[in-house]
Amino acid sequence: MTTLKISDGLVKDDLLVVGLVSTNTKGGIAIESGDLALDSKSLLASLLEMGATGKADEVTKMPGGPARLMVFTGLGPKSSTYSHEVLRRAAGSASRALAGNSGATFALPTRDLAGVSAVAEGAALGAYVFNDFRGSSKDSHKSALKSATIFSKLAGKSEAKEITNRASIIAKYTHLVRDLINTPPSHLTPDSFTKKLAASFKAAGGAKAGLKITIWDEKQLKSQGFGGIIGVGQGSANPPRLLYISYTPKAKNVKRFALVGKGITFDTGGLNLKPGFGMEAMKCDMSGAAAVCAATLAIAELALPVAIDCWAPLAENMPSDTATRPSDVITIFGGKTVEVLNPDAEGRLVLADAMVKAQSGKNKLDGMIDVATLTGAQVVALGTRTGAVMTNNQSFSDSFIAIAKETGEQFWPMPLPVELRASLDSPVADIANRGDKNGGMMVAGLFLKEFVSDDLPWLHLDIAGPAFNEGKPHGYTPVGGTGVSMRSLVRLVEQA
Ligand code: BES
Ligand code: MN
Ligand code: ZN
C-alpha cells in the first residue's frame, strides 16, 4: 500500500508532480502547482519543445527544476476551479506513470481540504499494479509507487491526518476489489472468495470492529431453500456459497442498509455457452460481490455510524451434465418459482435469493442496494465507463447520482418501464429469467424488482460496463478490475 502524507515542505531528491494546463487553442500551456507556486518560466520553454499540451492523461517527465525529476500531469484547459475528479485523475495518471519509484510529492491546484483529499485519493488509487500471477517475468515488472506526499499549506491542520487516513482506506479497499476481480477463476472459486474475505475481515479488526461473518455451504444452501444460488452453481465442481458480513457500529439507533453483490466467479453462460472470444472477461462477474464486501470493511474501518448487512451470493456458472437446463424451474428463497429459459441470465437468480434473504431479518432496513455486472445490454446502453442506476425510489436514486458525481464514479439513471414486465411472464412458473431482448438491462432490473418489498427504498446498480477495463489505463483506472461503486457506497453511508 502506498503511504500517504501531507506536507508543506519539499523533500530534496524526490520526484515532484505538478499540473500542466492548456491556456488557449494555439498550444499555449501553463503550470499549476497550487500552494507551491513554482516559478515556471524556464520550464515552459522546454515543455513546449517536448510537445507537452496539458491535456488530461498526458504525463511528461523532465529532469531538473527544484526536484530530481519533474513530472507534469495534464489537467486540461486552464480554470480557476479544477473539479475534484480532474485533480483525482491527474494525480492518478502521474502516480501510474511513476510505478517503480519510492516516493513523489504532488503539488496540484487544490483550494481546500476536499481538493487535497481528492489528490490524495487519486495518487493512492493510481498506485496499483497486479503482478501476483507473474512467475519468471515478475522482476521485469515494476511495483507501485511506494509513497505519495501531497504538498499543501493545510498540512498543519488537524484534518490533514483524517484525510490521509480516509484516502488510504478508500484506496486499500478499492485495491482489494481490483485484486479479487483480477485473480483468475482458477484461483478464485466461491469457496476461496469466502476465505480471502475472511482474511480481510480479520485484518479490518473483525469482531472488535463490529464485524460478523457467516458462510453458507452448498448443503446448507440446499436445505434452506436457496434455489437460485444452487441452480446456478450446480453445474460446477466448485460448489456455491453465500457470504454474509454484518457491521454494527457502536452508536445506537442508526440507519441500516443491505448491500447485495453478484458473485459469479466465472460466467461461461452455462448450457447457454458464451462464444469463446471475449469469454475471459467473465472473470469480472464477481465485481459486485467484491465491491459490497470491500465497502462494508471500509465502512467498518472508518467506524461510520450506520449498520450494514452485506450479502454475496457466490457461484460458478458452468455447463455440465449437472447444470441447470433451459426450461428447468427453480425455487428462489422465500418461495417464488422461476423458469430458467436462459442459464446465462444467472446473476438475477443468485441475487434474488440473497435479496429476499436480506429482507427476511428481524432488523428493519432503511435501504437496499444491489451491485452487479448484470447485462451486456448495460454496456450497449451506456458504454464501458458509465454504470446504470435503477430504483423503486426516485429520491434515493437522485441522492446516489449526486454522490457518484462527488466521488467521480460515473453513474446514470435508467427507468424501469412497467410495460416491459410482461415479457418475463412464464407459461409454467411465477416468472421467467429471460424477457424482451430490447431493453435487456431494464428487463433484468424489473426481474429483481419482483424480489423487493415496495416500501423498501432500493437501488440496482448494473456495472457490467465500468467494472472491468479491457481498454487502456486512464487517470487512476488501471487495466482489469476498476473497483467501481465501492467509493460511492462508502460515501452514501458517510452521508446517511
Ligand atoms: N455476466 C453477464 C453480463 C455481462 C456482459 C457482464 C458483459 C459484463 C460484461 C450476464 O450474466 C449475462 O450473461 N447476461 C445476459 C442476459 C441475457 C441472457 C438475458 C446478457 O446480457 O446477454
Ligand atoms: Mn451470464
Ligand atoms: Zn453473469
Give the phi and the psi of residue 431 in degrees, each rounded to 5: -160, 155
pLDDT for position 319:
98
- The reply to whether 305 and 357 lie within a common domain is yes
Question: Per residue in 80-98, pLDDT tens?
Answer: 999 999 999 999 999 999 9
> Which residue in this structure is represented by grid cell 424501469?
416
Kindly state if the Cβ of 462 falls inside 6 Å of ligand 1. Answer: no
- Secondary structure (DSSP) of 422-483: GGG--SSSSEES---STTHHHHHHHHHHTTS-TTS-EEEEE-TTTTEE-S--BTTB-SEE--
Kindly state if the Cβ of 324 falls inside 6 Å of ligand 1. Answer: no
Kindly state if the Cβ of 342 falls inside 6 Å of ligand 1. Answer: yes
How remote is the CA of residue 19 from the centroid of ligand 2, in Å? 43
Q: List the CATH number of the domain containing 132.
A: 3.40.220.10
How remote is the CA of residue 264 from the centroid of ligand 3, in Å? 6
Q: List the CATH number of the domain containing 428.
A: 3.40.630.10
**Residue after which a domain boundary falls, among 128, 154, 180:** 154
- The reply to whether 451 and 395 lie within a common domain is yes
> Which residue in this structure is represented by grid cell 494546463?
21
- The reply to whether 287 and 353 lie within a common domain is yes
- How far does the chain reach from its first CA to its final CA, in angstroms? 29
344 is in an annotated binding site: yes
pLDDT for position 14:
82
- The reply to whether 212 and 341 lie within a common domain is yes
Question: Is 161 domain-assigned?
Answer: no
Question: Is 163 domain-assigned?
Answer: no
Q: Which of 374, 426, 469 for a ligand 1 pocket mutation test, highest count of atoms within 8 Å of Cβ?
A: 374
Instruction: List, in sequence order, every residue forming a beta bridge with 15; answer none if it has no partner.
Output: 69, 104
- Please give the residue range of the domain that contains residue 45: 3-154
Question: Is 159 domain-assigned?
Answer: no
Cell numbers given for 39:
516559478
Question: Per residue in 449-492, pLDDT tens?
Answer: 999 999 999 999 999 999 999 999 999 999 999 999 999 999 99
- The reply to whether 175 and 145 lie within a common domain is no
Q: Which residues, 6+ apart, have CB-to-CB distance to 392 below 8 Å?
A: 416, 449, 452, 454, 456, 457, 458
Q: Which residues, 6+ apart, have CB-to-CB distance to 354 below 8 Å?
A: 229, 242, 260, 311, 312, 313, 333
The conformation of residue 12, written as its DSSP 8-state character, comes to: T
Residue 467 CA, closest ligand 1 atom number = 8
Length of the chain: 496
**Residue after which a domain boundary falls, among 103, 129, 154:** 154
Question: Is 338 domain-assigned?
Answer: yes
- The reply to whether 145 and 176 lie within a common domain is no
Residue 435 CA, closest ligand 1 atom number = 19
For the chain, percent of residues with pLDDT exceeding 90: 97
- The reply to whether 114 and 202 lie within a common domain is no
pTM: 0.98
Question: Is 160 domain-assigned?
Answer: no
The conformation of residue 141, written as its DSSP 8-state character, comes to: S
**Residue after which a domain boundary falls, among 127, 154, 181:** 154
- The reply to whether 404 and 454 lie within a common domain is yes
- The reply to whether 147 and 281 lie within a common domain is no
Question: Is 94 domain-assigned?
Answer: yes
Distance of CA 24 to the CA centre of its chain: 36
267 is in an annotated binding site: yes
pLDDT for position 315:
99
Q: Which residues, 6+ apart, have CB-to-CB distance to 132 below 8 Å?
A: 179, 182, 183
Please name the amino acid found at residue 148.
A
Question: Is 72 domain-assigned?
Answer: yes
How remote is the CA of residue 375 from the centroid of ligand 3, in Å? 7
Burial class (CB in 10 A: 0-12, 13-18, 19+), 119: buried
d(CA 89, CA 74): 9
Cell numbers given for 351:
441475487
pLDDT for position 1:
85
- The reply to whether 146 and 256 lie within a common domain is no
**Which ligand is nearest the CA of 424, by number?**
1
Number of domains in the chain: 2
Residues that are catalytic: 274, 348
Task: State whether residue 215 is helix, strand or coil.
Answer: strand
Low-confidence stretches of the chain (pLDDT < 50) are none
- The reply to whether 67 and 187 lie within a common domain is no
Residue 373 CA, closest ligand 1 atom number = 6
- The reply to whether 287 and 341 lie within a common domain is yes
pLDDT for position 39:
85
How remote is the CA of residue 317 from the centroid of ligand 2, in Å? 8
